[in-house]
């Protein structure tokens, strides 16, 4: 466990969280769920999704570890399980497997299903909890909140301008970006699993 988080680790953590959030890959689902809304409501929902994602990730960052402890779940076990989930999400992105989400006409999709579970799902939550476990100092947690804010901001901007972004990127471009994000996410998850296994079984590092 490191006392002070390094700049490369901050960058890696931000990339991992942004990758699993996958704002570009979420655009088609967002557009489908909001296709019957006027432009003003679409933009409002995009902004609210960013706010909800920030809230969920920050609460998970600050108190997620204590919730796990209350249920007697070991952090190393959670790290391995969480990163296996992250790896499965990355594999799904890489192989273009998508979940079909629907919402009632009278319901706002901002929190469910867009913020949870599409963007701030179990994989993203597991990432921020393990970040808090590895870097528990107040300064590091503040950096983690900053990462959450950055990622939530990118998501809010991407969804706010979803129709314009979709026209520029086009379906082929979004497919390429999603696969690239999936490969990066899978690589990061595997590296994290290897580190967790080394912590759980120190004899493997000798």
pLDDT tens for each residue of 129-146: 989 988 999 999 999 999
What is the C-alpha to C-alpha distance for residues 126 and 79, in angstroms, rounded to an integer? 7
Residue 102 — left, alpha, or beta (φ > 0 → left; ψ -120 to 50 → alpha)?
beta
Closest CA to 127 of 5, 52, 15: 15
Under DSSP, the state recorded for 37 is: S
Residue 20 in contact with residue 119, Cβ under 8 Å? no
The answer on pLDDT for 13 being more than 80 is yes
What is the C-alpha to C-alpha distance for residues 8 and 14, in angstroms, rounded to an integer? 10
pLDDT the model gives residue 104: 56
Read off the pLDDT of each residue in 158-180 and give the average, rounded to a whole number.
Answer: 82
Report the first-to-last Cα separation within the chain, whole angstroms: 18
Cα 47 to Cα 8, 20, 38, 42, 155: the distances in Å are: 29, 19, 15, 9, 8
pLDDT tens for each residue of 68-112: 889 998 878 877 887 888 788 778 878 876 554 555 555 788 898
pLDDT the model gives residue 48: 95
Read off the pLDDT of each residue in 45-64 and give the average, rounded to a whole number.
Answer: 96
What is the C-alpha to C-alpha distance for residues 199 and 176, in angstroms, rounded to an integer? 35
Find the helix packing angle between 122-134 and 75-94, rounded to 10°: 140
């Amino acid at each position: 466990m490191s006392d002070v988080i390094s700049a490369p680790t901050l960058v890696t953590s931000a990339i991992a969280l942004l990758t699993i959030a996958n704002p570009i890959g979420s655009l088609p689902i967002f557009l489908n769920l909001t296709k019957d809304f006027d432009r003003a409501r679409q933009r409002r929902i995009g902004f609210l999704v960013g706010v909800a994602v920030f809230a969920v990730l920050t609460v998970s960052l600050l108190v997620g570890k204590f919730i796990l402890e209350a249920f007697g779940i070991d952090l190393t076990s959670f790290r391995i399980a969480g990163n296996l989930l992250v790896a499965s999400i990355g594999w799904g992105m890489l192989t273009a497997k998508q979940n079909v989400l629907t919402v009632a006409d009278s319901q706002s999709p901002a929190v469910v299903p867009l913020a949870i579970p599409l963007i701030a799902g179990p994989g993203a939550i597991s990432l921020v909890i393990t970040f808090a476990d590895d870097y528990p100092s107040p300064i590091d947690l503040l950096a983690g909140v900053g990462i959450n804010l950055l990622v939530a901001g990118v998501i809010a901007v991407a969804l706010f301008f979803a129709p314009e972004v979709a026209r520029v990127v086009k379906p082929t471009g979004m497919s390429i970006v999603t696969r690239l994000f999936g490969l990066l996410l899978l690589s990061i998850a595997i590296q994290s699993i290897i580190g967790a296994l080394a912590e759980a079984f120190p004899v493997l590092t000798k």
